[in-house]
Structure 1
Amino acid sequence: MFDLTDQIALVTGGAKGIGKGIARVLASAGATVIIADIDEAVGKASAEELNGHYFYLDVSSHKSCKQLVSAVIRDFERLDILCSNTGIFPQCDLVTMTEQHWDEMHDINLKGTFFMVQAALEVMRPQSYGRIVITSSITGPVTGFPGWTHYAASKAGQLGFMRSAALECARDGITINAVMPGNILTEGLQAQGEDYLEQMKAAIPTRSLGTPDDIGHAACFLASKEARYITGQTLIVDGGQVLPESPEALAAVR
């Protein structure tokens, strides 16, 4: 099951973090993996490490997204899987947030998702096949965290977009789903500092942070042929973080 041999998989934001974990798992399942990222040096290094391919991408540019998909079709003739993963999460309190802060977050996280999914659908529809997996988050759709109102809004917006988009291509052999990571030990999370990491571990029933590969395995399932009857759905991968109804419930976990 979940054999992706001969599948062409495009992972945006695949140079590091969750994106690299997704790319690694897809490659291990047999897919030909294309890492698309704005960071050329790190992207090329990750592609070489995973025996994949690198293409430049700025998801905030409609032109860049369309050019990327055109290049994939030129070199590989088809596109079977899109993992729309690119995202940023700079912290900023609401009272000091500027329009620029808001727009940058949404240009990359939300508008970038729209640009990439739209570009992918142009080639997936003629194929009558496609798997699209969006990386959202528990923050926004399920939980909140001070300093990330703009991030939370962008991630909740991705899910609203996904559900309607899934309906539009439901009869085209294309599924669109989302993974919703909790706290995953990436370079970005490590940058928040050790105190933050320990606080996050204490809030998770498993008392552990997830790994990028944990998200990769979830994405691999949703990207598989076996997941053909699942569309417009979300899969939370968070070690049970959203489960406790109170601090007492969490403290009772043995």
Structure 2
Amino acid sequence: MSHTPSPRVPGQETATTRTLSADLERTGFYPRLVADVVDDALDGAATLAHLVHLETHFERAEVRRHVTVLALTDELLVITHVDEAPLEADPQRMTAQVSTESVPLAQIATVVLSYVFAEPAAYEPGDPVHEVTLAIAWSGGQRLDILPASCGDPNCDADHGYTGTIAQEDIVLRISAEADGPEAVSTAKHFARLLRAANAASASGAAPGPGTPADGLPRPRLAGFGGRVRGHGGRQ
């Protein structure tokens, strides 16, 4: 007996069925420019998963935006970051500052996913995550946070030196359900699982192939930026 799929309800698509270019369009942050830059960085490689994160911050009285795009391929994690800044000669006009980096999966040292839950005392299985922080380290770079040390006595004015923590991280993305939406949090969790599985497979020497990855999740149906395919030998 043949099965007729149910019609898709508009707006029902998820991050695992949307294309990378569609997610860039949703940000509204120079989508054609960012798409072309990411496409060039991918150099013809197909994406297995992607994560697009737009951040907005205030600089004096002006609003500044920047987007980070993570694209996972069979062999690489491709990171693209685009900032906007005013043109020095004419502050009324904007410039886009772009950086790209391609990291071999076997070179990734850690993938850390931190969770924040609201009202933990009332937690029930399946309750949504309030926010996640995705930290990925690959180059051995470390961040040092130092604070004055204390003995716990509020009346003590002795010098106890300093205390601090060292965190190994090359990129950190904070995704909040309140600021970015619950779907963005779920997308970040899904991407982290796929990246961990691909990193583990690469480190063990197993070539990632088609089918279900090691985390048991279905391979997302993701696409690149249309029909432009360029191999490493195609550049002039």
Q: Same fold (TM over 0.5)?
A: no
TM, length-normalised to structure 2: 0.26
TM, length-normalised to structure 1: 0.24
Higher gyration radius (CA): 2
